[in-house]
Structures are given as C-alpha cells and as structure tokens.
C-alpha cells in the first residue's frame, strides 16, 4: 500500500525561518524543492552557516533525481554547495536563480561538475513520475516561481516565496491565470504555502508603492545619498538607478554582494543602466556630493559590511559626512536589531540624516511575502483538498492552519514539522513516521567542513589547535585602550614567549590603527582583532586556534 502513496518529507524550513528544503517521494523516485541555509546565532562559535541534515537523502542517494529551486534567496539556494558535495544530481532553476547558484558553486569549486538546467515559467517538464509546472510569481527578487508537481495521486503545489503583485516594476505580473486553471481543473491535492506574513492583515503593497517616497528623498537630498537594500532586491536596485538618472546623480556600487548582484542583473537584462551612469568608487572624489548616489551593502548591520565600516569612517571609498543622507530600504530581520541600531548610532554621530523603516518615514520598503488576503486568495484560486503551511516558526505555521481552515476550502489542514512524513493518496493525508533531521553547522573556510555538533566541534577545535584569548581594556567614553593587551594561550604554544609577545604587538597595532569610534564599537573592534590575530597565528604556526577577543569596558 505504501508504494501507492506520495510522501512529503520536510527537511528544513518548517519550525524555523531559513534552511528551506522539502523532499517528495513516489516509490523509488525523490525530488527535492529548494536547498536553503540559515545564518548562525552568535553563540555558534566558529560556524559560518547552518544547513539541513540531509541524512534521509544520502541514505536514499540512488533515488534522488533532482533539486528544483523556486528562487535565488540564500534561504532557498544557500545550502546547494553542501548538498551537491554529497549528492551530484541535476539542479533546475530559472535563469536568474541559476546565475546566483553558479556563483556559489564556483566559489566552492563545484561548478564544473554541476548539471544546471534552466526551467521556463509555463513550460512543463518531467522527472520520472513527476511532471513539473513552474508558475511565475512575484517576490522581492526577480525570476521567482511556484512549482505545481503533477503526481500519480494529484497535483502538489509549492508556492515558494510569493506575494500577489499585479503591477511589478519589471512588468512580469503574478500569473493568476495559471493558478486559477489549476483550481478549475479539479483543484490541487495539496497546497504548501509560504507562512512568512501570516500575521499581517490585508494585502502586501506592490513594489511600485515605494517609488513616490524614494523619489521625494532623492529630490530633497542636498549632498551624497547612500542607498542600502538587500543586494538580491534587483527591482529596488533598478528603481534606485532609475531615480539617480532622473535626479542627475552618478552611481557608485560598494560592497561585494551588491557588486555581484548588479553585475548578474545587468548581464541578464534585469538591470538596464544608461551609458556613463555607473562610476568606479575611486572616481567619487571627482564629483560634487549632490551628484552622487552610493549603493552600499550592509543593511542588516553586519559588523564588517561596507555600511558598518563606512559608519565608523573605516572605508577606503565610502566617506559619510555631515549632511549626507543614508537610506536603509529594507526591513529589520528579527535578531539583527542590535547591529542595525548600532550602525544607525554611528551614522547619527557623523551628523548624517538616517532614514530607515521605523513606521514614521513613509513607505521606503515593502515586503516580498503575501499577507493574509493574498494567502486566502491563493487558497480560493487553487481549491486544495489538503493544506500544509511551510516557511516559518511553529507559531506561524499554527496561525496559517487556522487561516486556511477559516476559508472553508481545504478538507484538512495539517501542521507539520521538519522530519515528519506525510503520506498522501487521492483521498487521504496522514502522518506516518519520521526521518532524521536537524541542523548541520558548516565552517566554509575554502572547503565545506561539517561541524557535527557545536560542543563536539569546540572540543575538537580546542584539543587540536587550542584557544587564544585577547583581553583588551577600553574606556567607553573616549574609545582609548588602557594598559597593555593581555594574551592568554591554552592548548598550544603556552610557553612560547616570543609568539605571545608578537601577538600582543599585533593586537596593539590593530587598536592603534583603529579610530576612536571603531574602538567604542565592540562588534567592529572584536572582528578586527580576531581577523588580524587569526592571519598572524595561521601564518606563524599553521594552526587555527579558537580566537576570542574579550573587551573589558572601563
């Protein structure tokens, strides 16, 4: 009997934001939708990214036929290098999604062996018993799709991330007709729907809704305008370029992620830039401040991002001066508040005008996810028999089940978590068993090294390479370092007075080469000390100890 059942197995993204990964299995064929990552919390020392445990896929490696990507955000494609290093299977995605994936795979030296296949919205293709129908949806990124998977027991529709934008800036509207056709042709068996904005009433505004306020800001800004948004928000970047041309400003692009995204978007025609609009950051000094727009990465307050460094006057090109305007056109991702407000404090100290999405400055950012009315619209359009919320914390999934049932459409709404197996026939949907799931911590310094467990990883790190603690006292008021930095080494070179002395000199040099503002910002100064010490110790000893700067506030 189990052979005649379709199995849905979420491996990530149901119970947390990020790490989105869903397996569908029919008999001996498995396809995977999305391969996302999460960024680690501060307490995960030595961890770069967190990806889903794919034990279930590796145990069934001969059955895994393909990975299908809905769009190019990190929480949907960021885990791809990790999965492809274990399972080299074909990867399907739209043109822009694959361009972003290529960059990731190239970085990990996996591109030459990867089989990347472009899929076109509206054009069906088959993988074993599955027929895949990509459907164009709108989101905060271009070239996004939902996937309708036609299986022997019925259609499973995975929305990916979406909102219903009928007048997007790129002119490619949400494909309502395709979803309506699915509903008319007997409805879908199961709808897997994005839960991100289930708490928000009403409709999510169109991306075009930000233009009037941004246009006003461009017109009012008297000096340099620094514009920060998610580097993947190509339509927002295109709008900023368009307004720069309208208001006679040249554009300098600063920050690796922003640079990469604009280059890919230009190559693929999503970003049309007038001749001579973009200048090299080194040319900024040749133009009057009122003639400059600086597109800069770091909208979430990341300690070593371009905006964070510019905020403490530690960027080669981005010099933020009194009277400049800094526009942060993005939402605050929960957990990032401290870093973002720290950067804003530094910008205010520089007497810059900071405009961010605090609810009082007008519409400078809109979400890429559908609110309650869009979620209900999708349910009513496709007429699902069964409903499974995806992408969200447990509370979001629970709220989404309640919302779906309130429409009166699904016969049954099922709240699932990572690892649970849902078995579907044409008439039934039942949970049956669990598979191994969890978080795998990755240290991606050049190669992909798995951190099996944080505690084990720390013990191994300490036993093999030891620990170096740099203790620095800093006067909070003045930013001056007090006394001589103390270096404590455990696990290696404990008696090497020369190494300790040279390490102390490195820390001292880092402090002396930093501005008072940087020294007062413990996030920035700790990263600088860690980076400089790490380079020195690796070069001197070929070891990678755990380096922990400790800042004592006096």
Q: Which residues are catalytically annotated?
A: 194, 369
DSSP state of 270: S
H or E segment to which residue 126 belongs: strand 125-127
Taking the alpha carbons of 424, 429, 430, 431 in that order, is the dihedral positive or negative? Answer: positive
- The 3-state DSSP composition of the chain as helix, strand, coil percent (nearest 5) reads 35, 25, 40
Phi, psi (deg, nearest 5) at residue 460? -65, -45
> Distance between CA 455 and CA 461 in Å, rounded?
10
Q: At what angle are helices 372-382 and 176-184 packed, to 10 degrees? A: 40
In this structure, are strands 21-26 and 29-33 parallel, antiparallel, or unpaired?
antiparallel
Q: What angle do CA 142, 143, 147 make, to 5 degrees?
A: 135
Cβ density class 385-422: b for 16+ within 10 Å, e for less: bbbbbbbbeeebbebbbebbeebebbebbbbbebbbbb
> Distance between CA 314 and CA 349 in Å, rounded?
14
Beta-carbon contacts of 377 under 8 Å, excluding residues fewer than 6 positions away, are 164
Residue ranges for the binding site for Ca(2+)? 46, 48, 443
SS3 for 124-182 is CEEECCEEEEEEEEECCCCCEEEEEEEECCEEEEECCCCECCCCCCCCCCCCHHHHHHH
- Cβ atoms < 10 Å from Cβ of 140: 26
Give CA torsion, residues 82, 83, 89, 90, to 10 deg: -80
Q: Please state whether 258 falls in left (phi above 0), alpha (psi between -120 and 50) or beta.
A: alpha
Say if CB 19 and CB 32 are below 8 A apart: no
Residue ranges for the binding site? 46, 48, 71, 73, 75-76, 139, 161, 365-369, 391, 443
Residue ranges for the binding site for Zn(2+)? 71, 73, 75-76, 139, 161, 391
> Distance between CA 242 and CA 211 in Å, rounded?
10
Phi, psi (deg, nearest 5) at residue 32? -120, 130
Phi, psi (deg, nearest 5) at residue 55? -50, -40
Say if CB 385 and CB 187 are below 8 A apart: yes
> Distance between CA 248 and CA 499 in Å, rounded?
55
Say how many Å lie between the first and final Cα of the chain, rounded: 70
> Distance between CA 42 and CA 339 in Å, rounded?
12
Residue ranges for the binding site for substrate? 365-369
Token duo for residue 123: 């054009």
> Distance between CA 365 and CA 471 in Å, rounded?
41
């Amino acid at each position: 009997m189990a052979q005649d059942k379709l199995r849905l197995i979420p491996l990530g993204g149901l119970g947390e934001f990020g790490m989105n990964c869903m397996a569908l299995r029919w008999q001996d064929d498995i396809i995977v939708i999305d391969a996302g990552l999460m960024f680690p919390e501060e307490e995960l020392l030595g961890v770069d990214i967190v990806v889903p445990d794919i034990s279930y896929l590796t145990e069934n490696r001969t059955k895994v036929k393909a990975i299908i990507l809905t769009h190019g955000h990190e929480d949907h494609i960021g885990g791809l290098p990790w999965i492809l290093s274990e399972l080299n299977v074909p990867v399907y995605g739209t043109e822009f999604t694959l361009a972003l994936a290529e960059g990731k795979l190239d970085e990990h030296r996996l591109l030459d062996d990867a089989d990347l296949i472009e899929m076109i919205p509206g054009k069906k293709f088959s993988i074993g018993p599955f027929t895949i129908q990509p459907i164009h949806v709108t989101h905060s990124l271009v070239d996004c799709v939902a996937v309708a998977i036609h299986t022997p027991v019925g259609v499973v529709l995975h929305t990916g991330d979406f909102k219903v934008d009928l007048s997007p800036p790129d002119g490619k509207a949400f494909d309502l007709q395709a979803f309506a056709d699915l509903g008319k042709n007997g409805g879908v068996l199961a709808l897997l729907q994005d839960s991100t904005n289930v708490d928000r009433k009403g409709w999510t505004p169109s991306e075009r809704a930000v233009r009037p306020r941004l246009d006003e800001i461009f017109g009012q800004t008297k000096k340099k305008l620094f514009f920060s948004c998610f580097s993947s928000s190509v339509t927002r970047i295109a709008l900023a370029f368009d307004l720069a041309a309208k208001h006679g400003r040249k554009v300098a692009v600063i920050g690796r992620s922003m640079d990469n995204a604009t280059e890919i978007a230009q190559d693929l025609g999503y970003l049309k830039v007038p001749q001579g609009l973009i200048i090299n950051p080194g040319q900024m000094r040749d133009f009057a401040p009122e003639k400059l727009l600086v597109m800069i990465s770091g909208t979430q307050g990341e300690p070593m991002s371009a905006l964070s460094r510019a905020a403490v006057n530690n960027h080669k090109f981005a010099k933020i001066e009194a009277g400049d305007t800094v526009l942060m056109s993005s939402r605050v991702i929960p957990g990032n508040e401290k870093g973002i407000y720290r950067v804003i404090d530094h910008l205010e100290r520089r007497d810059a005008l900071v405009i961010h999405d605090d609810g009082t400055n007008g519409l400078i950012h809109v979400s890429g996810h559908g609110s309650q009315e869009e979620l209900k619209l999708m349910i009513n359009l496709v007429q699902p028999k069964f409903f499974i919320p995806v992408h969200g914390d447990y509370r979001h999934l629970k709220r989404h089940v309640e919302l779906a049932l309130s429409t009166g459409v699904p016969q049954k709404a099922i709240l699932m978590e990572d690892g649970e197996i849902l078995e579907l026939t044409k008439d039934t949907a039942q949970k049956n068993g669990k598979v191994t799931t969890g978080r795998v911590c990755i240290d991606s310094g050049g190669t992909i090294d798995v951190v099996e467990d944080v505690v084990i990883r720390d013990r191994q790190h300490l036993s093999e390479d030891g620990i170096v603690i740099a203790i620095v006292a800093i006067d909070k008021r003045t930013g001056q370092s007090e006394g001589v930095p103390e270096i404590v080494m455990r696990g290696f070179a404990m008696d090497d007075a020369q190494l300790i002395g040279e390490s102390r000199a490195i820390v001292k040099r880092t402090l002396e080469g930093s501005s008072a503002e940087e020294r007062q910002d413990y996030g920035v100064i700790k990263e600088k000390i860690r980076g400089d010490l790490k380079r020195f110790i690796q070069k001197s000893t070929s070891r990678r100890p755990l380096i922990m700067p400790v800042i004592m506030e006096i």
